[in-house]
Amino acid sequence: MPVRTHAPRVQVRLVKLVARRNGVAERFAAAARDLDLTPYLGTAGDVTVNTSLLDGNGNFSITVADRSRDGQDTVYALAEPMDLVEIRASRTPTGDGPLPLVMRGFIDSVQRAESVGEDGAVNRAVTIQGHDCAKLLQITAARPQSRQPGSEPILSELMLSSKDGMGARVMPVVSFMETIITRVANPAIQALFAVEGKTLRPFRLDAGAVDGALIPGMTAPTEESVWTLLNAFVDRPWNELFVEDEESGPVLRFRPTPYKDVDGRFIMPGARDPGMVALSIDDVASWSARRADANVANWYVVPPGQAAALTNNAVNQQTVPGLDDRDHPNARLELYGRKAMKRDTALGPIIALSPTAAPAAERMALADRHIAWRRTRAEQLKAMNRDNSVFESVTATVKGSETLKIGRRLRLTRGGLTMEGYITTVAHTIKPLRAWTTALTLDRCTGFLERSRRADLPYRAEFLGGPYR
């Protein structure tokens, strides 16, 4: 029987954006210096890359040998905070082109560690740590001041002036995020890194069919960063927001959460297939599945949250009764007791805003539409959580691969059983010439659900071959 082998490769490139002379940082002096850090990895180095849907951004850590190459100083002296790092890797590289991009990011810290072993040998290593391109949104102020003396701030300020198309009116949340990225974040980032001969790739918003609206000037937390501002209106768990690196530049994905129900249908309107990664049990080093009643609910409430501003607060006098789901088979009252789930919505319906002095009937009609929005949100919340008792949470360690990314679905074939789950965290550990493993966290896995649907004995079916038979 042929033995399947792999020869994974990794490339790490340092793109100099910062130089330092006599202890003083200089941007432009570093314009022409790019360094290939791959030779410094050797057999003792390693690269870790972590991404998570929980906070939408990722981080990296690179450990290299502390040595001099080609007449250059140690990497500790060459790398600076806010330099750019590009990590590429492939489990089965093909051709002579560049390896697939795993992450672009910016350095947070550079550390040099030295120690003497019992045998007298001196060990020296340099560790570079940083975050992906979401860091740029975290260090960009939501209210940047104009560089021109006597002019108004860029945001006037988040009433954004009428010339920006963001005055005191209801604005679709997708349009809001597009405006913040194109008019605030990207110009600020380009000005921050105006390095001769190099320009940082701008962010691109990849927005799915996200519903909902807000009033920017009345509800936006403008004293924070762009990242905080955008996250204030994601409206989780109905939507999700995260950064993903592509060859063309960083992409901010804003989309309805692509959860599926027990019958395999997407729950949120407009949700699209995020893509599938297929593995067999031969690719798995460890797999731990868990079910619990901690997230089981049979009563769902969605209060107005920040979205009350969309109705001039008329809705504050209205109540929306919670949704009772006590008779659903997977959330029965007699099995799980009375368990409530409450989530706020930061958005509201896309409507024309009535003035405060509008007739009472008009204001009440607006409130009714907002109540209908909350009821719809509660129905969607119920659909996403009513079967939590049969979905599994999984942690796994598998053979590393560049195809494993957050926001994708994973299909695992184990003997005669097939299960699916949604990837929420990915942690790559690449040890050149030794190993590449990836730790995964998956949500809403269907392993137990598929077992319960089989007519034969699942235990026998899953052990038809594979390392765990």
Q: Note whether 110 and 126 are within 8 A (CB).
A: yes
The per-residue pLDDT for 276 is 96
The per-residue pLDDT for 24 is 55
The per-residue pLDDT for 468 is 56
As a whole number of angstroms, the distance between CA 354 and CA 376 comes to 22
Sheet with 239-246, edge to edge strand ranges: 204-207, 249-256, 239-246
Q: What is the DSSP letter of 386?
A: T
Among residues 373, 372, 215, the alpha carbon closest in space to that of 309 is found at 215
Q: Note whether 221 and 229 are within 8 A (CB).
A: yes
The per-residue pLDDT for 217 is 65
Cα 241 to chain centroid distance, Å, stands at 6
The per-residue pLDDT for 159 is 47
Which stretches of the chain drop beneath a pLDDT of 50? 1-3, 27-32, 146-167, 196, 317
User: Residue ranges of the alpha helices (H) in 26-168?
Assistant: 38-41, 75-78, 134-138
The per-residue pLDDT for 4 is 56
Give the predicted TM-score (pTM) of the model: 0.87
Q: Which helix (H) or strand (E) holds 369?
A: helix 360-385
Q: How far is CA 98 from CA 83, 102, 247, 412, 420, in A?
A: 21, 12, 10, 29, 31
As a whole number of angstroms, the distance between CA 429 and CA 62 comes to 10
Residue with tokens 């001099």: 68
Among residues 220, 205, 256, the alpha carbon closest in space to that of 346 is found at 220
Q: Note whether 440 and 410 are within 8 A (CB).
A: yes
Q: Which amino acid does the sequence have at 171? A: M
